[in-house]
Amino acid sequence: MSQRTKTKSFTLIELLIVIAILGILIVASASVFVFFQKRSQLNNDTEKIINILRLAQSKTLACEDLSRYGVYFDANASPQQYILFKGDNFAGRDLNFDKTYNLSSEVEFYDIDLSGGSEAVSYTHLRAHETSLHLVCRLLLE
């Protein structure tokens, strides 16, 4: 009589289950990666805005060109942007100096609340203008 030897192997169903589980894990990790990438972009844009506000304040306090400087937030532009300007206010600014910075496509100004109803922060030579700044940026979900 012939003797059959048993070989150990995986069945087709076991292989399909393993492939399905791996597929689910890959899709889940990809969505988490995209979220963290967008979150990183939000943090980068926030840091850029803070740095431009500090730059406007520094230029004013240093009396650069004997001028005042400020930052204007334009939520109506596409893409949304903020502008470093030279002048007492945004309406009376030196147009040749304007430096425009765009927000990334994943980020938007959600809430801009400056005292006085303006959308600009300007500084005086001795201290920040009597302006309180409340600016909220958020991620756009697609």
Q: Is the pLDDT of residue 134 over 70?
A: no
Q: Is the pLDDT of residue 11 over 80?
A: yes
Within 10 Å of residue 84's Cβ, how many Cβ atoms? 19
**H-type alpha helices, the chain:** 12-61
pLDDT confidence tier of residue 102, bands split at 50, 70 and 90: very high
Range in 28-42, 55-69, 81-95, 128-142 with the lowest mean pLDDT: 128-142
